[in-house]
Amino acid sequence: MLSSILSLLQSLFYPHYCPGCGTEVRGKGVLCDSCRRGIWHPRALQPLSLDCLHLDGLFFLMDYAGGIQKALQMAKFQGREDLLPRLAEEWKQGTLREKKFHWQLGPEVRLAAAGIPTDPGRRKKRGYDLPEEIFQPWCRQEGYRWETLLVRNRPTRPQYGLAPEERKKNIKGCFTLTRQENLPDIVLLCEQRCLRLIQISKCMHSRKNRI
Ligand SMILES: [Zn+2]
């Protein structure tokens, strides 16, 4: 009751407008229903077909287009911190609706989620880290442990505006594991573009300390 009154007051005083089309959004998500429908595309991809030999799965919730692309760019480049809880809500609600994101794991499987770390300089300037802000609320809901498993070992150029080959070159070998021992069996690497998860397990164990 109290939360519904609070959300009513919130929408009266701080209305939120869909980044895709500009209409007012009543719920907690970032997009209106119509814009969400336009880019809704949950899927699990086989990484072998994408030349990602060290990954076990890639899970996307939406296409990187329309309102979600705008919202992520606004949060990333325009300091729109207010969009972060709404982006987190899109992911949380989206994964609840989508069966591909429901994994049956035994209690012996050690699973952890980790963000792909932002360049420290850009993180400091921005004041927040997008993967953490978007995916940690979902981890709390699902009971997944969030761990800092990767760090950047050198500065990189922003990926934005680079050609695909330059992007690969820019980040090649720039991440290092924070520890070598006692690694989780499955790591869900969280990356905000397309609201996607990268399930990675073999690589953590088969490649010494870099991915
Ligand atoms: Zn819209």
pLDDT above 80: residue 62? yes
Task: Tell me the mean pLDDT in the region 55-73.
Answer: 90
Within a domain: 193:
yes
Tell me the pLDDT band of 158, cut-offs 50, 70 and 90: confident
Q: How far is the CA of 16 from the centre of ligand 1 (A)?
A: 11
Tell me the pLDDT band of 24, cut-offs 50, 70 and 90: very high
Within a domain: 131:
yes
More confident residue, 106 or 31: 31
Q: How far is the CA of 36 from the centre of ligand 1 (A)?
A: 7
Q: How far is the CA of 85 from the centre of ligand 1 (A)?
A: 17
Q: How far is the CA of 87 from the centre of ligand 1 (A)?
A: 14
Tell me the pLDDT band of 38, cut-offs 50, 70 and 90: very high
Within a domain: 4:
no
How many domains does one find in the chain?
A: 1
Q: Is 87 helix (H, G, I), strand (E, B) or coil?
A: helix
Within a domain: 5:
no
Spatial contact of 87 and 128, defined as CB atoms under 8 Å apart: no
Q: What is the pLDDT of residues 177-210, one digit of tens each?
A: 898 888 888 888 888 876 666 665 544 444 433 3
Q: How far is the CA of 20 from the centre of ligand 1 (A)?
A: 4
Within a domain: 9:
no
Range of the domain at 94: 14-100+112-206
Q: What is the pLDDT of residues 97-120, one digit of tens each?
A: 888 778 787 888 888 999 988 888
Q: What separation in angstroms does the CA of 30 have from each of 39, 61, 72, 121, 166? A: 13, 14, 10, 27, 31
pLDDT above 90: residue 23? yes
Q: How far is the CA of 154 from the centre of ligand 1 (A)?
A: 39
Please report the pLDDT score of residue 51 as a whole number. 66
